[in-house]
Structure 1
Amino acid sequence: MKIVVLGGGESGFGAAYLAKKKGLEVFLSDKGLIKEDYKKLLLDAGIEYEEGKHDEDRILAANWIIKSPGIPKKAEIISKINKKGIRLSSEIEFASEFTDAKIIAITGSNGKTTTTSLIYHILKNDDLKVGLGGNIGKSFAKQVADENFDYYVLEVSSFQLDDIQNFRPYISLLLNLSQDHLDQYNYNYEEYALAKFRIAENQENDNFFIYNKDDEMSMNLLEKLEIKAKMIPFSLKEKLKEGGYLTEDKMVVKLHDEFSMKIDELALVGNHNVANSLAASIAGKILKISNESIRNSLTTFQAVEHRLEQVAEINGVRFINDSKATNVNATYYALESMKQPTVWIVGGTDKGNDYTEIEDLVKRKVKAIVCLGLDNQKIIDFFKEKKELIYSTSSMEDAVKTAKSLSKSGDTVLLSPCCASFDLFENYEDRGNKFKKEVLK
């Protein structure tokens, strides 16, 4: 069997490495330049590769093509592959064919990384043999090649789910839906939402699907879709006979028996993190992890970098890095959890954002807006009638200096961009790291 891998990053290298280890003929092609450390890994593993171009004849002669999630599905080479009818898979699909481990897969518009990391922490804390992968951490495929885990906890994006055929998690979680990446889904919210629901499409009645009963789009689509897995909801708004819910000061999970815990004991703050903790606890209960062990994990978990990360308090001003907030809904959660007057740093590559969702929160919580991007006009036009203090900057240094000058003791400076980072930065991590560096300077 001839395998071609498109993309030479973490997931691309991992898929090629797994193919090689399984004795398959493999070739990796990247239209851009491959980073030096991945080139060395490819050479060490004896994997043939090309960079800076695509050898179309060779690619289109493959039996199975593995596509990295960063390659747009509208790319010319993808159209040619689809026209020829060659099987096209994501790394998670490819790797899942080579493991019997139980997979816990998490998707949603927001909270994926936090919830994935939290479930991994719950399993690891209970001494289970578990790997962490997908959209986070090390390549899932490389771990399948080298490790012998009983469980994998995978953060899964809609782009990875676009390219599955047989992927069947033991437990799947759909945390929430909001308008994101619409530029890749013909600006159609339902098309994007249905891509997320693919996480459950191959599940059978011995599998589990955890979903958000408060999420309007999820509930609308569940009326139309046939989910075979056992469905378990969570809600912050209503008491449930089975699943997870919130009372005044406690979170409760009813499954087999009852698990409850005071909200103020949770390591994570904010309502959205109560929802994430409920979803993670349900997964723990399905896996028969004890109440005591789940409670211990929820109190000892450390928040994910670049997600409402407390950077420093300087002259009474708190600086918070929420660079991972690359859509409006993620920033909604960040602004909702702000307790002090906030100077808000926002901007980047717009993905079809509609800012009306956060309009009221901005009016109530934000004292000044600092735009950070090559083109800030859309944000300025939307908020100029609503906020007097709006500033335009095109570098992190300027953005932090401006935010500092606008803040006083008792305020918070929040980087929560609503946008992708690619106009000025390599990725959201680069943006968050540069913010922290400027703050500490």
Structure 2
Amino acid sequence: MKKSHIKQESEQRSSSGIEGGFLVVLGGGESGVGTALLGKAKGYDVFVSDKGKIKDKYKQVLIQNEIDWEDENHTESKILKADVVMKSPGIPDKVALIKQIRKAGITVVSEIEFASNFTEATLVGITGSNGKTTTATLTHHLLKQELNVGLAGNIGDSFAKQILEDDYPNYVLEISSFQLDDIIDFRPHIAVITNITPDHLDRYDYKFENYIESKFRITENQTEADYLIYDADDEVIVNHLKKCAVKAILLPFSLEKNIENGACLEKENIKITINNNQIIMPTSNLTLEGKHNVKNAMAASTVAHLLKIRKQTIRESLENFQGVEHRLEQVLKINKVQYINDSKATNVNATYYALESMGAPTIWIVGGVDKGNNYQELFSFVNEKVKAIICLGVNNEKLLNTFGNMVDVIVETQCMNEAVKIAYKLAETGDNVLLSPACASFDLFENYEDRGRQFKEAVRNL
């Protein structure tokens, strides 16, 4: 592995009698505290600074490990003395402090970048606008049957903490565009791009091209010895590939095209071919429903095939995978009405997949913080499948204007319990009640997990 800027700096300082140098961690959440622990173990002088309040469980970890920290404040004079700054993915570049740090010539990295310098593990990096959590979790499920593998990144325990405590020989990393924005040398052996649709454009100057380029950073350091797995039905990805120089071996997957090297659908079977080595699996046995999940299965199985997981193991693992919490999660069936938690659908494209997979009349709970959503691609599904809409958000005006004429019943509420009670009254035998918000959750909830758990609790209390 090539020597990174962080390792070089660390070694130079160690040889001059200064341990590791001064690492400032901005953000005292999972990734921040994990980075602080790893940084301290690697000889850095560490300071954690959070503009908000650090949760008690993380404060205790910092105190127990004698790591200097502050919350509800940023001491700029101290921060600007850093040799390396690891910033939480939630902090945008336009924040004045980040501009000052960059102006001072201080290296800014993400946790993924920092941590990857301290492991020789085989890295599988998975990004995309939708499906990355399911694909990452499914890939980990396939690999763990035969390999010692960690699951980290945007999911579970922090990557840095796992390197410190477990140092798995393999990692599956779910990676957001925000994490990719602050990489320098990070290089996954296998990269996966599930799809790219407009999302988080407020962080990218409302330019879709900037967001696309951010996603493609996952492959920028890859070599001819590495692999890029991608959706060949996604025009955005296909068009961007034509104009950017990717060194990695390309392994597309598709529901529509015949793929010679990669994965495709043939007579309702998933066919994966890599260097003439083939595996065929029936889609009828997949536990996950919907076309999008066939694609997620293709991507995950291609990774498993590359890493020499046995064909029988891949088949069995696809058949017993139970899915991801808050992603088309079947909660309960009450009076022959199925309640489905898809709180993780924080954009229109994710909700598109959810509505597409509905096989019964649906009462749809939607709303939250609109990220400049264009709901037009949902119109055909709403007309065909949705019998009532419950708007759950502080400001529901856009939803009311967009869908008011499409359904007989559209109501608004600002309380999850009330939304579920209204759905219960509207639902008839054989219906679905689907929470698939297409929006961020921060107007009424702590995050999408909080929103999903409140939905499940309200359903169980009916």
Q: TM-score range by the shorter chain?
A: over 0.9
Correspondences of 1:125-274 after superposition (within 5 Å): 125-126=145-146, 128-256=147-275, 257-274=277-294
Alignment partner for residue 445 of structure 2, among 408, 425, 431? 425
User: Residue 77 of structure 2 aligns with which residue?
Assistant: 57
One-letter code aligned to 1:140: F
**TM-fit CA distance, 1:238:** 1.1
Matches of 1:94 and 1:198 in 2, distance apart? 16
Alignment partner for residue 413 of structure 1, among 433, 438, 455? 433
**1:125 partner SS:** coil
Q: Deviations over 1:91-121 (max 9, x none)?
A: 0000001100010000001100000001111
One-letter code aligned to 1:234: F
Q: Deviations over 1:125-177 (max 9, x none)?
A: 11x11111000010000111111311010000000001101000010000101
**2:237 partner SS:** helix
**TM-fit CA distance, 1:388:** 2.7
Correspondences of 1:289-328 after superposition (within 5 Å): 289-328=309-348
Residue 407 of structure 2 corresponds to residue 387 of structure 1: yes
Matches of 1:429 and 1:63 in 2, distance apart? 35
**1:253 partner SS:** strand
Matches of 2:301 and 2:117 in 1, distance apart? 28
Q: Deviations over 1:201-256 (max 9, x none)?
A: 00011111001100011011101100011111000101111100012321110114
Matches of 1:326 and 1:171 in 2, distance apart? 26
One-letter code aligned to 2:243: K
**TM-fit CA distance, 1:83:** 1.6
TM-score by length of 1: 0.99
**2:411 partner SS:** strand
Matches of 1:229 and 1:39 in 2, distance apart? 42
One-letter code aligned to 1:210: I
**2:144 partner SS:** helix
Matches of 1:105 and 1:227 in 2, distance apart? 15
**TM-fit CA distance, 1:70:** 1.4
Matches of 2:96 and 2:142 in 1, distance apart? 42
One-letter code aligned to 1:189: F
TM-score by length of 2: 0.94
Q: How high is the sequence identity, in percent, across the aligned residues?
A: 54
One-letter code aligned to 2:167: N
Matches of 1:300 and 1:306 in 2, distance apart? 18
One-letter code aligned to 1:396: M
Residue 63 of structure 2 corresponds to residue 43 of structure 1: yes
Matches of 1:225 and 1:204 in 2, distance apart? 14
Matches of 2:268 and 2:247 in 1, distance apart? 34
Residue 304 of structure 2 corresponds to residue 284 of structure 1: yes
Correspondences of 1:17-28 after superposition (within 5 Å): 17-28=37-48
**TM-fit CA distance, 1:323:** 0.2
4+ residue segments displaced more than 4 Å: none
Matches of 1:242 and 1:132 in 2, distance apart? 27
Residue 438 of structure 2 corresponds to residue 438 of structure 1: no
One-letter code aligned to 2:97: I
One-letter code aligned to 1:266: L
**TM-fit CA distance, 1:73:** 2.2
Matches of 1:412 and 1:56 in 2, distance apart? 52
Q: Deviations over 1:43-92 (max 9, x none)?
A: 11111000110000111110100011111222221111122221100000
One-letter code aligned to 1:153: V
User: Residue 387 of structure 2 aligns with which residue?
Assistant: 367
One-letter code aligned to 1:130: V
User: Residue 81 of structure 1 aligns with which residue?
Assistant: 101
**1:409 partner SS:** coil
One-letter code aligned to 1:117: T
Query: 247-256 or 203-212: which moved more?
Result: 247-256
Matches of 1:357 and 1:93 in 2, distance apart? 36
One-letter code aligned to 2:422: T
* Cα RMSD after superposing both structures: 0.8
One-letter code aligned to 1:6: L
Matches of 1:83 and 1:259 in 2, distance apart? 52
**2:455 partner SS:** helix
**TM-fit CA distance, 1:299:** 1.0
**1:131 partner SS:** strand
Matches of 1:103 and 1:317 in 2, distance apart? 42
User: Residue 13 of structure 1 aligns with which residue?
Assistant: 33
Matches of 2:131 and 2:28 in 1, distance apart? 27
**1:374 partner SS:** coil
Matches of 1:362 and 1:77 in 2, distance apart? 44
One-letter code aligned to 2:270: M
**TM-fit CA distance, 1:386:** 2.0
- Alignment coverage as a number of residue pairs: 440
Uncovered stretches (5+) of structure 1, i.e. residues with no partner: none
User: Residue 371 of structure 2 aligns with which residue?
Assistant: 351
One-letter code aligned to 1:277: A
Residue 54 of structure 2 corresponds to residue 34 of structure 1: yes
